[in-house]
Chains A and B, each alone.
Chain A
Amino acid sequence: MIGLINYGGGNYKSVSNALEYLNINYLEINSYHNLKKVDHIILPGVGVYNDLISTLKSMNIIDELIYHLTDKKKFYLGICVGMQILSEYGLENNKTKGLNLIKGKVEKIPVEKEPLPNIGWHNIILEKKNSLLFNNIDDKEMLFYFVHSYYFNLDQQEDCSSSIYYEKKLTASVEKDNIFGVQFHPEKSQAGGLKILKNFCNL
């Protein structure tokens, strides 16, 4: 069963609409008790790093989530800020500790000319050719919708499964064992994006 974390904000509705369209059953997770009932966990996120962490703290869900990902090895897909909080810490608004599951920090995109936020479609560059998340997606569909001002600056490039260029090379997605994260919005990236969600749910 797929668990979709609903913390009250973000784009829960957009992701749940996409899952319904794909005929994928999911369980809405609004308390840590439900985490044990699922084997895949999706955390959709629109918004701000420190807000998301403090909301998850108030739900008492963080320790339980880490337990299910590290000990139980459940599959995790973090979207946008849901990916960013996998890091050691984030620098949006104030320095905030993350889940510390993938080494690196989340910081503002260093741009000189290009506008922030980075809004729009990017052709991603696959760094992990065999990534199961990108299985069966042809080149024409390897375009995804991004909306962000902060990016995941990874310590270890081996954790990066795809990237984009926005003046400099930026992390587009991460992958470490059972843990996946995408900076872009698969639920808003048309057919290619829906395939990402489907691929994840089929893991």
Chain B
Amino acid sequence: MITKKNRLVVIIFFKNGNVVQSKLFKQHKVVGDPYKIIDRLSSWNADEVIYLNIRPELSNINRQDKNIKYDNDFDKIIEFVGKKAFMPLTVGGGIKNLSDADKYFRMGADKISINSEIVNNPRLISECTKIYGSQSIVASIDVKIDNENVYNAHINGGKKKVLIKLNDYIKKIEDLGAGELLINNIDKDGMANGYDLRLLKLIKKTTKLPIIFAGGVGKFDDFIVGIENNLNAIAAGNIFHYTENSYYQAIKFLYENKCNTRPPILNVF
């Protein structure tokens, strides 16, 4: 008997405090109201949500730069969302030290996601797992394929290649104690042509950690392909911004196709 459900995870990307759709980690189109999204996710009875600040450096410096439009402050959005998110909430982007981590946990995050600091300051992960438990620490890996058809992890929003092999990188992350992996695929980002199954299989072979896998979902069938390939946490960002009640429609589609998800419920609050 199985009691566990597959989970449909929503990733929301933020840049300059705006919600954006992302393509290849380079082009970003502003969509939606950053404060209202959480109400929609609640009424769609969402399984889980991840708030990612994809250009945290823009929030910390260059504040005076008139060319950059700051409509909202990421931290203020998280503070707001934390009070209303009665679903698992992960926050990531720009977490550099224990006080950043502590800040988001205090705002109501259940998990934090760490990416660049895996390389820059690996001790941060082990320190965080000691304080918050490994289940609260998500290691986020942005993967890109190189000219020789080899997958490599990247940090700094996809701008810097990690020098060690992807397999070894994941092993290192396991040793540091992270409880979950969030895999995003730079080449697939915003392309809407389905998950990279070769990458999924490769990562599943490398680790036993729970995997949240994103990048490439363009239609609801793509989620089913993920589930058929033993992916338990199917994730996407952009697709949820295209249509009305998109999350509800997606979970309904998966439920009706016997994908072992939670049942669709609308307007539960």
Contact = CB atoms under 8 A, between A and B. Distances in A.
Nearest to A143: B262
- Most B CB contacts (10 A, CB to CB) among A14, A116, A164 go to A14
A27 B108 CA distance: 19
B73 to A, nearest CB: 19
Chain A contact residues, majority secondary structure: mixed
B210 A119 contact: yes
B7 A46 contact: no
Contacts of A21: 83-84, 86
Nearest to B1: A165
A121 B134 contact: no
B108 A121 contact: no
B72 interface: no
B87 A9 contact: no
Interface string B220-239: 00000000000011000000
A46 B210 contact: no
A90 interface: no
Contacts of A176: none
Given A9-B132, A121-B262, A17 B5 contact: no
B206 to A, nearest CB: 12
Interface string B84-112: 11111100000000000000011110100
Nearest to B5: A121
Contacts of B209: 115
B210 A122 contact: no
Contact of A122 (B4, B84, B136): B4
Interface in B254-269: 262-263, 265, 268-269
A143 B105 CA distance: 24
Given A11-B110, A119-B179, A190-B42, A18 B86 contact: yes
Interface residues of A, number: 40
B135 interface: yes
Interface stretch (A31-39, A63-71, A100-108, A144-152): A144-152
Nearest to A81: B133
Contacts of B85: 188
Nearest to A122: B3
Interface string B177-202: 00110000000000000000000000
B86 A13 contact: no
Nearest to B42: A190
A141 B86 CA distance: 14
Nearest to B207: A115
Contacts of A110: none
Contacts of B47: 120-121
Chain B contact residues, majority secondary structure: loop
B159 interface: no
A190 B156 CA distance: 34
A120 B232 contact: yes
Given A13-B82, A165-B2, A191 B133 contact: no
Interface string B40-71: 00100101000000000000000000000000
B3 A125 contact: yes
Contacts of A9: 131-132
A145 B135 contact: no
27 contacts: A13-B105, A13-B108, A18-B86, A47-B133, A48-B133, A115-B208, A115-B232, A119-B179, A119-B180, A120-B7, A120-B47, A120-B210, A124-B3, A147-B136, A148-B135, A149-B135, A164-B3, A165-B1, A165-B4, A188-B85, A188-B110, A190-B42, A190-B86, A190-B87, A191-B86, A191-B268, A191-B269
Interface of B: 1-7, 42, 45, 47, 82-89, 105-108, 110, 131-136, 179-180, 208-210, 232-233, 262-263, 265, 268-269
Given A9-B131, A46-B133, 18 more contacts: A9-B132, A13-B106, A17-B84, A46-B132, A46-B135, A47-B131, A47-B133, A115-B210, A117-B210, A119-B210, A121-B262, A143-B262, A164-B4, A165-B4, A166-B4, A188-B89, A188-B110, A190-B42
What 4 A-B pairs have minimum CB-CB distances, sorted nearest first? A191-B268, A164-B3, A117-B135, A122-B3
